[in-house]
A = this chain, B = another copy of it.
Amino acid sequence: MISIGEALRIVEGNSVRVGDEKVALEKAAGRVLAEDVRADTDMPPFNKSAMDGFACRQEDLGSRLRITETIKAGDMPQGQTGPGQCARIMTGARVPDGADCVIMVEHTSDDGEGHIRFTGAKTAVNIAFKGEDLKEGSVALQKGTLLRPQHIAVLAAAGCTSPVVSRQPRVAVLTTGDEIVEPDRKPEGTCIRNSNGSQLMAQVAAAGCIGDYRGIAGDSIDETMTAVSSATEKNDVLLITGGVSMGDFDFVPRVLLEAGFELFFEKVAVKPGRPTVFGRRGNVFVFGLPGNPVSSFTIFELMVKPLLYRMSGHDYSIPALRFPVAIEYQRKKADRVALLPVIVNERGEVMPVEYHGSAHIHALTHAWGLMVVPAGVFLYKKGDLVDVRQI
């Protein structure tokens, strides 16, 4: 049994970058940038007024100012702003040469015959200077950026309308177990519905990958072997759930070895999720995940997601968010890291939700995150700060 940290180092150390492709800007959200994007102009591209007001010289603020022109956004100023002059100017418009500040309309009074006077006590400059956000040629967005809406704006501003991004890793999802039936069937007697399959497919899509659903393989070595072989023909990653604990019919690790995978670990010191298997065959990776849906969900978040993002060139990490715990928390065994579904209440405290164990998928429906209890920790007192991993 190895620690999560050790397991993660093995996973990340083994990942292989998939290839790249170009996408249209409007399809780029959720993808990972594969090349640095540089600004092809200064940003802003000219001295730009940040206000509606009057562009003038700061040394003239005590004088009566003659309005020489009106400049709206998109207009080229007709002339320079000289001593005793000002230009009426709109937000976003180009500040005329000579002017070094824009005074707000509210800080001026009409002084008759096309003149104004500054009535404020002092003024801010109110100019966004050419290149102050980004210089032409400098890196606007770094390779490896996971593109969210705010990054799309930067690509647009840099004129990058078909960014080079990572190809989306293809991920096969395979469930095992004689007792598992698909959700459209009513489970009889000793069966339960397959909730892992569609949950993992949704997690795969949310991580920006392409899922390939491979159905359910019964508990036989032959059937599992056939399913593993075909699932790994054209995919980059296989996620296989169930059949990984110590029971006599849990032969997934054995099948994976026979299918040519090298297995790096088969147990991780985490609760839920101990029987987690990770392996590799060339550039194809496999995770054997526990059959319980809370476990497979959690291990996906903890270990599969970092692999998938690494394969896309994104160095995935989430910040450690720390909150006071709302109630005392105790446990009897502390050999593993525990992850417990929690909400954050109105007071900003962490409160565990009702949780019956790793098959209790309803516990996750209202949870905001997973509280992380390190190995060795038996007790948190009310108010102790705990790390929470958002889900």
Quick check: B190 and A75 within 8 Å, CB to CB? yes
**A-B pairs with beta carbons under 8 Å apart, 12 shown:** A43-B362, A50-B359, A73-B249, A73-B291, A74-B179, A92-B192, A128-B360, A155-B183, A156-B193, A156-B195, A157-B192, A348-B385
Quick check: B29 and A206 within 8 Å, CB to CB? yes
Determine, out of A79-87, A143-151, A229-237, A256-264, the stretch whose residues face the partner at the interface: A143-151
Quick check: B91 and A247 within 8 Å, CB to CB? yes
Q: A74-B219, A219-B73, A344-B319 are in contact. Are A190 and B149 (CB under 8 A)?
A: no
Residue from A105, A192, A248 whose CB has the most chain B CB atoms within 10 Å: A192
Q: Is A167 an interface residue (CB 8 A)?
A: no
* Interface residues in A137-188 (C-beta closer than 8 Å to B): 140-141, 145, 148-157, 159-161, 177-180, 183-187
Given B43, B156, B367, which contacts A198 in the complex, CB threshold below 8 Å?
Answer: B156
User: What are the interface flags for A51-67 relative to B under an 8 Å C-beta threshold, 1 for contact and 0 otherwise?
Assistant: 01000000000000000
Q: A93-B190, A152-B199, A321-B323 are in contact. List 15 more A-B contacts (CB 8 A).
A: A40-B186, A43-B362, A44-B192, A52-B245, A72-B248, A73-B178, A73-B190, A73-B249, A74-B180, A90-B249, A133-B361, A141-B365, A155-B183, A156-B198, A321-B344
Q: Is A308 an interface residue (CB 8 A)?
A: no
CB-CB under 8 A from A90, the residues of chain B are 245, 247-250
Q: A198-B152, A357-B50, A365-B154 are in contact. Are A29 and B70 (CB under 8 A)?
A: no
A211: nearest chain-B partner, CB-CB? B26
A151: nearest chain-B partner, CB-CB? B365
Quick check: A157 and B361 within 8 Å, CB to CB? yes
Pairs of residues from A and B, 7 with the lowest C-beta to C-beta distance, nearest first: A74-B179, A74-B178, A153-B199, A149-B202, A90-B247, A150-B364, A322-B348
Given B48, B72, B291, B346, which contacts A219 in the complex, CB threshold below 8 Å?
Answer: B72
Q: A145-B365, A159-B186 are in contact. Are A150 and B319 (CB under 8 A)?
A: no
Quick check: A149 and B356 within 8 Å, CB to CB? no
> A148–B159 Cα gap in the complex (Å)?
34
Q: Is A3 an interface residue (CB 8 A)?
A: no
